[in-house]
Amino acid sequence: MDAILELLDPYVFDYGYAYLFPQQQLQSTKAYGNSTNYASSSKNFDDEYSLNFGSSLPRDDIYRQSASILLIAGFGAAFIYVISAALSYYFVFDRRLEYHPRFLKNQIKLEIQSSFFAIPIIDLLTLPFFLGEVRGHSLLYTRIDEYGWWWLAVSTALYMIFNDLGIYWIHRLEHHPSIYKYVHKPHHKWIIPTPWAAIAFHPVDGYLQSLPYHVFVYICPMQKHLYMFLFVCVQIWTHPYPRRRHDYWPLARKVHQQSCPPHSPPHVLHLQLRPILHMGRQLLGLSPCSHARAGSYSRGGPSHAREGLGGQGWKPHQEVQG
Protein backbone atom coordinates (compact mmCIF):
# COMPACT_ATOMS: atom_id res chain seq x y z
CA MET A 1 0.00 0.00 0.00
CA ASP A 2 2.89 2.39 0.65
CA ALA A 3 3.90 2.09 -3.01
CA ILE A 4 0.45 3.30 -4.08
CA LEU A 5 0.54 6.14 -1.55
CA GLU A 6 3.94 7.22 -2.86
CA LEU A 7 2.40 7.39 -6.32
CA LEU A 8 -0.85 9.14 -5.44
CA ASP A 9 0.32 11.57 -2.74
CA PRO A 10 2.09 14.07 -5.03
CA TYR A 11 -0.54 13.92 -7.77
CA VAL A 12 -3.83 13.56 -5.89
CA PHE A 13 -3.82 13.54 -2.10
CA ASP A 14 -1.47 16.51 -1.50
CA TYR A 15 -3.86 18.77 -3.41
CA GLY A 16 -6.94 17.27 -1.80
CA TYR A 17 -5.71 17.57 1.77
CA ALA A 18 -4.30 21.06 1.14
CA TYR A 19 -7.76 22.13 -0.03
CA LEU A 20 -9.68 20.44 2.79
CA PHE A 21 -7.17 21.05 5.60
CA PRO A 22 -5.06 24.08 4.63
CA GLN A 23 -2.07 24.85 6.78
CA GLN A 24 -2.20 28.10 8.69
CA GLN A 25 1.04 29.97 8.18
CA LEU A 26 2.42 32.40 10.69
CA GLN A 27 3.41 35.63 9.03
CA SER A 28 6.32 37.51 10.55
CA THR A 29 5.54 41.22 10.66
CA LYS A 30 7.09 44.32 12.06
CA ALA A 31 4.78 46.99 13.38
CA TYR A 32 5.90 50.52 14.05
CA GLY A 33 3.12 52.59 15.55
CA ASN A 34 0.51 53.25 12.90
CA SER A 35 2.69 52.00 10.07
CA THR A 36 1.49 49.41 7.55
CA ASN A 37 2.26 45.76 8.35
CA TYR A 38 4.01 43.74 5.67
CA ALA A 39 4.16 39.96 5.60
CA SER A 40 7.60 38.43 5.37
CA SER A 41 8.66 37.87 1.76
CA SER A 42 10.13 34.50 2.77
CA LYS A 43 6.73 32.90 3.43
CA ASN A 44 6.83 31.07 0.10
CA PHE A 45 9.97 29.33 1.26
CA ASP A 46 8.72 28.23 4.64
CA ASP A 47 10.31 24.85 5.27
CA GLU A 48 7.48 23.44 7.36
CA TYR A 49 4.89 24.60 4.82
CA SER A 50 6.80 22.97 1.97
CA LEU A 51 7.27 19.68 3.78
CA ASN A 52 3.55 19.47 4.56
CA PHE A 53 2.63 20.40 0.98
CA GLY A 54 0.26 23.13 2.09
CA SER A 55 -1.84 20.93 4.38
CA SER A 56 -2.11 20.81 8.14
CA LEU A 57 -1.97 17.02 7.77
CA PRO A 58 1.53 15.89 6.76
CA ARG A 59 1.98 12.75 4.70
CA ASP A 60 3.01 10.70 7.72
CA ASP A 61 -0.04 11.71 9.77
CA ILE A 62 -1.79 8.52 10.84
CA TYR A 63 -5.27 9.95 10.27
CA ARG A 64 -4.39 11.13 6.78
CA GLN A 65 -2.82 7.76 5.97
CA SER A 66 -5.91 5.94 7.27
CA ALA A 67 -8.26 8.07 5.18
CA SER A 68 -6.09 7.64 2.08
CA ILE A 69 -5.89 3.87 2.54
CA LEU A 70 -9.66 3.56 2.90
CA LEU A 71 -10.19 5.59 -0.27
CA ILE A 72 -7.64 3.56 -2.23
CA ALA A 73 -8.89 0.21 -0.95
CA GLY A 74 -12.55 1.08 -1.42
CA PHE A 75 -12.38 2.52 -4.93
CA GLY A 76 -9.70 0.01 -5.96
CA ALA A 77 -11.74 -2.98 -4.81
CA ALA A 78 -14.89 -1.64 -6.46
CA PHE A 79 -13.06 -0.96 -9.73
CA ILE A 80 -11.43 -4.39 -9.86
CA TYR A 81 -14.72 -6.04 -8.90
CA VAL A 82 -16.78 -4.34 -11.61
CA ILE A 83 -14.24 -4.75 -14.42
CA SER A 84 -13.21 -8.32 -13.59
CA ALA A 85 -16.74 -9.53 -12.90
CA ALA A 86 -18.08 -7.95 -16.08
CA LEU A 87 -15.35 -9.43 -18.28
CA SER A 88 -15.71 -12.84 -16.63
CA TYR A 89 -19.49 -12.75 -16.89
CA TYR A 90 -19.59 -11.90 -20.60
CA PHE A 91 -16.55 -13.86 -21.82
CA VAL A 92 -15.97 -16.76 -19.38
CA PHE A 93 -19.15 -17.57 -17.48
CA ASP A 94 -21.54 -20.06 -19.08
CA ARG A 95 -24.73 -18.00 -19.06
CA ARG A 96 -26.89 -21.06 -19.66
CA LEU A 97 -26.48 -21.65 -15.93
CA GLU A 98 -28.94 -18.82 -15.40
CA TYR A 99 -31.68 -21.24 -16.50
CA HIS A 100 -30.81 -23.63 -13.70
CA PRO A 101 -33.85 -24.17 -11.42
CA ARG A 102 -31.78 -23.13 -8.40
CA PHE A 103 -30.66 -19.86 -9.96
CA LEU A 104 -32.34 -17.20 -7.82
CA LYS A 105 -34.69 -14.53 -9.07
CA ASN A 106 -32.80 -11.24 -9.60
CA GLN A 107 -29.67 -13.09 -8.42
CA ILE A 108 -27.13 -10.91 -10.23
CA LYS A 109 -28.65 -7.78 -8.73
CA LEU A 110 -28.54 -9.37 -5.28
CA GLU A 111 -24.91 -10.46 -5.78
CA ILE A 112 -23.88 -6.94 -6.73
CA GLN A 113 -25.74 -5.40 -3.80
CA SER A 114 -24.17 -7.87 -1.38
CA SER A 115 -20.70 -7.18 -2.79
CA PHE A 116 -20.94 -3.40 -2.50
CA PHE A 117 -22.28 -3.77 1.02
CA ALA A 118 -19.28 -5.92 2.00
CA ILE A 119 -16.51 -3.86 0.38
CA PRO A 120 -16.38 -0.84 2.76
CA ILE A 121 -16.74 -3.01 5.87
CA ILE A 122 -13.95 -5.36 4.79
CA ASP A 123 -11.77 -2.34 3.97
CA LEU A 124 -12.33 -0.96 7.45
CA LEU A 125 -11.51 -4.31 9.09
CA THR A 126 -8.30 -4.74 7.08
CA LEU A 127 -7.17 -1.13 7.62
CA PRO A 128 -4.75 -2.01 10.49
CA PHE A 129 -2.79 -4.35 8.19
CA PHE A 130 -2.45 -1.76 5.41
CA LEU A 131 -1.61 0.93 7.94
CA GLY A 132 1.09 -1.26 9.45
CA GLU A 133 2.62 -1.74 6.00
CA VAL A 134 2.67 2.00 5.33
CA ARG A 135 4.18 2.80 8.73
CA GLY A 136 6.96 0.25 8.35
CA HIS A 137 5.80 -2.50 10.70
CA SER A 138 5.71 -5.27 8.07
CA LEU A 139 8.59 -7.15 6.42
CA LEU A 140 8.04 -5.53 3.03
CA TYR A 141 11.22 -4.18 1.45
CA THR A 142 12.01 -2.01 -1.58
CA ARG A 143 15.44 -2.88 -2.95
CA ILE A 144 15.65 -6.26 -4.68
CA ASP A 145 19.34 -6.65 -3.79
CA GLU A 146 18.42 -6.85 -0.10
CA TYR A 147 17.41 -10.50 -0.60
CA GLY A 148 18.40 -11.16 -4.20
CA TRP A 149 16.47 -12.06 -7.32
CA TRP A 150 16.09 -15.71 -6.27
CA TRP A 151 14.03 -14.66 -3.27
CA LEU A 152 11.42 -13.11 -5.57
CA ALA A 153 10.59 -16.57 -6.92
CA VAL A 154 10.78 -18.25 -3.51
CA SER A 155 8.62 -15.64 -1.79
CA THR A 156 6.05 -15.85 -4.60
CA ALA A 157 5.76 -19.62 -4.16
CA LEU A 158 5.56 -19.29 -0.37
CA TYR A 159 2.92 -16.58 -0.72
CA MET A 160 0.70 -18.77 -2.89
CA ILE A 161 1.11 -21.88 -0.73
CA PHE A 162 0.59 -19.98 2.53
CA ASN A 163 -2.56 -18.33 1.22
CA ASP A 164 -4.04 -21.56 -0.11
CA LEU A 165 -3.39 -23.44 3.11
CA GLY A 166 -4.57 -20.56 5.28
CA ILE A 167 -7.78 -20.00 3.36
CA TYR A 168 -8.50 -23.72 3.32
CA TRP A 169 -8.37 -24.04 7.10
CA ILE A 170 -10.29 -20.81 7.63
CA HIS A 171 -12.93 -22.06 5.22
CA ARG A 172 -13.14 -25.41 6.99
CA LEU A 173 -13.43 -23.66 10.35
CA GLU A 174 -16.27 -21.54 8.98
CA HIS A 175 -18.16 -24.74 8.19
CA HIS A 176 -18.26 -25.61 11.89
CA PRO A 177 -21.91 -25.57 13.00
CA SER A 178 -21.27 -22.94 15.67
CA ILE A 179 -19.87 -20.51 13.10
CA TYR A 180 -21.41 -21.46 9.78
CA LYS A 181 -24.91 -20.00 10.17
CA TYR A 182 -23.60 -16.67 11.48
CA VAL A 183 -20.71 -16.02 9.10
CA HIS A 184 -20.42 -18.36 6.13
CA LYS A 185 -24.00 -19.32 5.33
CA PRO A 186 -24.78 -16.11 3.35
CA HIS A 187 -22.09 -17.04 0.84
CA HIS A 188 -23.76 -20.39 0.18
CA LYS A 189 -26.92 -18.56 -0.74
CA TRP A 190 -25.51 -18.46 -4.28
CA ILE A 191 -25.86 -22.14 -5.22
CA ILE A 192 -25.30 -21.28 -8.88
CA PRO A 193 -22.98 -18.27 -8.53
CA THR A 194 -21.99 -15.89 -11.27
CA PRO A 195 -18.74 -13.90 -11.34
CA TRP A 196 -20.67 -11.10 -9.62
CA ALA A 197 -20.73 -13.26 -6.47
CA ALA A 198 -16.94 -13.22 -6.08
CA ILE A 199 -17.13 -11.03 -2.98
CA ALA A 200 -20.84 -11.38 -2.23
CA PHE A 201 -20.52 -12.72 1.29
CA HIS A 202 -20.78 -11.66 4.91
CA PRO A 203 -18.16 -8.93 5.61
CA VAL A 204 -16.66 -10.94 8.48
CA ASP A 205 -16.38 -13.96 6.17
CA GLY A 206 -14.54 -11.85 3.60
CA TYR A 207 -12.26 -10.43 6.28
CA LEU A 208 -11.38 -13.84 7.72
CA GLN A 209 -10.58 -15.33 4.33
CA SER A 210 -8.41 -12.33 3.47
CA LEU A 211 -6.24 -12.70 6.58
CA PRO A 212 -3.56 -14.95 5.01
CA TYR A 213 -2.87 -12.37 2.28
CA HIS A 214 -2.25 -9.67 4.88
CA VAL A 215 -0.51 -11.74 7.55
CA PHE A 216 2.08 -13.20 5.17
CA VAL A 217 4.12 -9.99 4.82
CA TYR A 218 4.35 -9.73 8.60
CA ILE A 219 6.05 -13.11 8.95
CA CYS A 220 7.97 -13.41 5.67
CA PRO A 221 9.98 -10.74 3.77
CA MET A 222 8.59 -9.77 0.37
CA GLN A 223 9.40 -7.09 -2.19
CA LYS A 224 6.63 -4.52 -1.91
CA HIS A 225 5.95 -4.08 -5.63
CA LEU A 226 5.79 -7.85 -6.11
CA TYR A 227 3.41 -8.11 -3.16
CA MET A 228 1.10 -5.46 -4.57
CA PHE A 229 1.14 -7.13 -7.99
CA LEU A 230 0.23 -10.53 -6.53
CA PHE A 231 -2.38 -8.99 -4.25
CA VAL A 232 -4.16 -7.37 -7.19
CA CYS A 233 -3.88 -10.56 -9.26
CA VAL A 234 -5.59 -12.50 -6.47
CA GLN A 235 -8.50 -10.05 -6.51
CA ILE A 236 -8.89 -10.54 -10.26
CA TRP A 237 -8.44 -14.32 -9.99
CA THR A 238 -11.49 -14.72 -7.75
CA HIS A 239 -13.91 -13.66 -10.49
CA PRO A 240 -13.72 -16.20 -13.36
CA TYR A 241 -16.12 -19.13 -13.30
CA PRO A 242 -14.70 -21.52 -10.66
CA ARG A 243 -14.90 -24.74 -12.67
CA ARG A 244 -12.62 -23.19 -15.27
CA ARG A 245 -10.05 -22.50 -12.56
CA HIS A 246 -10.06 -26.17 -11.56
CA ASP A 247 -9.15 -27.03 -15.15
CA TYR A 248 -6.13 -24.73 -14.99
CA TRP A 249 -4.66 -26.47 -11.92
CA PRO A 250 -4.76 -30.30 -12.33
CA LEU A 251 -3.09 -31.02 -8.99
CA ALA A 252 -5.34 -28.58 -7.17
CA ARG A 253 -8.36 -30.03 -8.97
CA LYS A 254 -7.44 -33.58 -7.90
CA VAL A 255 -6.79 -32.70 -4.28
CA HIS A 256 -9.80 -30.40 -4.07
CA GLN A 257 -12.15 -33.02 -5.46
CA GLN A 258 -10.79 -35.72 -3.17
CA SER A 259 -11.11 -33.63 -0.04
CA CYS A 260 -14.07 -31.36 -0.74
CA PRO A 261 -15.63 -31.51 -4.23
CA PRO A 262 -16.39 -28.10 -5.73
CA HIS A 263 -19.88 -26.87 -4.96
CA SER A 264 -19.76 -23.87 -7.30
CA PRO A 265 -19.09 -20.83 -5.06
CA PRO A 266 -16.01 -18.98 -6.31
CA HIS A 267 -13.46 -19.97 -3.69
CA VAL A 268 -9.71 -19.82 -4.11
CA LEU A 269 -8.35 -23.32 -4.71
CA HIS A 270 -7.15 -25.05 -1.57
CA LEU A 271 -3.84 -26.81 -2.05
CA GLN A 272 -3.38 -29.34 0.74
CA LEU A 273 -2.45 -32.97 1.35
CA ARG A 274 -5.29 -35.44 1.80
CA PRO A 275 -4.02 -37.06 5.04
CA ILE A 276 -3.70 -33.67 6.70
CA LEU A 277 -7.22 -32.80 5.62
CA HIS A 278 -8.66 -35.91 7.25
CA MET A 279 -6.69 -35.26 10.41
CA GLY A 280 -7.91 -31.67 10.49
CA ARG A 281 -11.51 -32.75 10.07
CA GLN A 282 -11.22 -35.11 13.01
CA LEU A 283 -9.60 -32.44 15.20
CA LEU A 284 -12.23 -29.84 14.34
CA GLY A 285 -15.13 -32.29 14.33
CA LEU A 286 -16.04 -31.38 10.76
CA SER A 287 -17.87 -33.55 8.29
CA PRO A 288 -17.20 -33.58 4.55
CA CYS A 289 -18.76 -30.80 2.54
CA SER A 290 -22.38 -31.21 1.63
CA HIS A 291 -23.12 -30.33 -1.95
CA ALA A 292 -26.20 -29.07 -3.61
CA ARG A 293 -27.82 -31.43 -6.02
CA ALA A 294 -30.04 -30.53 -8.88
CA GLY A 295 -31.52 -32.28 -11.85
CA SER A 296 -30.56 -31.80 -15.44
CA TYR A 297 -32.81 -29.31 -17.06
CA SER A 298 -33.72 -27.34 -20.09
CA ARG A 299 -35.64 -24.13 -20.32
CA GLY A 300 -38.71 -26.21 -19.81
CA GLY A 301 -37.63 -27.21 -16.30
CA PRO A 302 -35.69 -29.93 -14.43
CA SER A 303 -35.68 -33.57 -15.42
CA HIS A 304 -36.13 -36.58 -13.17
CA ALA A 305 -32.43 -37.43 -13.24
CA ARG A 306 -30.81 -36.30 -10.00
CA GLU A 307 -27.10 -35.75 -10.44
CA GLY A 308 -24.50 -33.38 -9.03
CA LEU A 309 -24.08 -29.94 -10.54
CA GLY A 310 -21.09 -31.13 -12.49
CA GLY A 311 -22.38 -34.66 -13.21
CA GLN A 312 -24.35 -36.23 -16.00
CA GLY A 313 -27.59 -34.55 -15.00
CA TRP A 314 -26.31 -31.11 -15.93
CA LYS A 315 -23.95 -30.81 -18.87
CA PRO A 316 -23.11 -27.17 -19.56
CA HIS A 317 -21.18 -28.08 -22.71
CA GLN A 318 -24.38 -29.26 -24.39
CA GLU A 319 -26.86 -26.97 -26.04
CA VAL A 320 -29.94 -26.26 -24.00
CA GLN A 321 -33.04 -27.26 -25.87
CA GLY A 322 -35.90 -24.78 -25.97
Strand partners, 295: 306
Count Cβ neighbours within 10 Å for each residue of 206-241 and write b for 16 or more, e otherwise: bbbbbbbbbebbeeeebbbebbbebbeeebbbbbbb
CA-wise closest residue to 309 among 271, 269, 272, 257: 257
Q: Identify the pLDDT of residue 240.
A: 59
Domain residue spans of the chain? 61-243+271-276
Q: Output the tens digit of pLDDT for each of the chain's 322 residues.
A: 888 888 899 889 999 999 998 887 545 444 555 555 544 444 444 444 445 677 888 988 999 999 999 999 999 999 999 998 999 899 988 889 899 999 999 999 999 999 999 999 999 999 999 999 999 999 999 999 999 999 999 999 999 999 999 999 998 999 999 999 899 888 888 888 899 998 888 999 999 999 999 999 999 999 999 999 999 888 777 655 444 433 434 443 443 344 343 343 333 333 333 344 444 555 555 544 433 333 344 444 443 333 344 444 455 544 444 3
SS3 category, 293: strand
Q: Identify the pLDDT of residue 205.
A: 93
Strand pairing category for 301-308 and 293-298:
antiparallel
Whether the predicted model's global pTM rises above the 0.75 cut: no
Q: Identify the pLDDT of residue 306.
A: 36
Q: Identify the pLDDT of residue 285.
A: 56
